[in-house]
Structure 1
Amino acid sequence: MRISRILGASLLAGAGAVGLSWGTTPCASACSCAISSTEEKVGFADLVGEGTVIAVDAPSDVVSSADGTVFTIELDRIWKGEASSIVEVQSPTSSASCGLDGLSEGMEIVLFAGHTDIMGTPTPDQWQANLCGGTGPVDEQVSSELDQLLGAAQMPEPSTAAPVEAQAGVPGGALIPLALTGVSSLLAGLFTLLKHKP
């Protein structure tokens, strides 16, 4: 009887240990950021600026929390780096993978971006930002620290990209096929008329 009790207790303890390890696994995979000063965040970033989120392009079919969401940001000023006034910044879709899922259209933010994704892969043609880099809502204290560290912010270069609002609707190129169709119909009509003329 005593042996069966000891065996039962051992099995329960083992099951409990398995349950605990199972339960803590998802937490270990969540985003965990080291505490960094504004100066350290500046050191990691290639681009530091302030602006407004004007568009959020999230994937329609999310497979992983690391899937990329693209934020279009209209910069008002830049402390570090070079960029036009409108930049596209990619980030993981979910904060579980250190993504910027707390940002929305119309939000004023301070941006810390670089050319390396969350996995450390270089992306020379795409700006990247994440939760640990410092990007977030505008904070007067952070802006003041940036002024002290980097001097007065500069105006960004004018953007050559079309405004986001102007991209909606029928593109001008669609008028060409319509015009050609109209001309073809007119010529066909004239040809039919001349063919049946007595």
Structure 2
Amino acid sequence: MTTDPLSWVSCDGGPHVLLPAKACSAWSGTQASRDPRRGSTSFRWSGDPSAPASDYDAACDVAGLAGLVHTSAGAALVLGDEVPMSTWVPHDGFCGGVLVVPMTWPDARHDGPTLRSAVASVAPDEFLPTGLVLPNSGGRFLLCAAADAGPDWYYPTLTIAVPPAVYEVVSAEVHIQGFWLRLHALRSARQAE
């Protein structure tokens, strides 16, 4: 098991999003979206209901712990609710790994080996279908704060590569080895065409 430190995405609050690489340049964060579909969001981070909607507003409209926001370049997976931090941890049961949102820690340290061990001990059958499907995006993603936008990202980001495919999203919420974790995995729905 690797002992390399984990790379974390964190921000001042709000959801995180897993963007297909090809959608990164179109993601507006808290700025007015260039996508005309954003006008239908109910949340406005600005507090002004007449303000143009942003992609962050659409991410905040996600009611559950995970949801999709469609962009002009594909669909982005929103890790909903108040996400303190998130990362990608290897897991043999899924395509490359699992998105991890730790809600509590057994101690104050960000102990990568202990977290990796906890995540690896969660069996794939403990993950439940969410009904969410990510279309084939080429297999390259960026995990980032939903409020942020590139190309000069303010908050940390994490690049994730998986085999090109259509992915269904499966999730688990577990209390294990002193952690409370929300886990989201990508399971190949069918081979990429």
TM-score interval, normalised by the smaller of the two chains: under 0.3
Instruction: Name the TM-score, length of structure 2 as normaliser.
Output: 0.23
Taking CA–CA contacts closer than 8 Å with sequence separation of 6 or more, which of the two structures ends up with the larger relative contact order? 2
Larger Cα-atom Rg: 1
Relative to its length, the structure with more strand (as a share) is 2
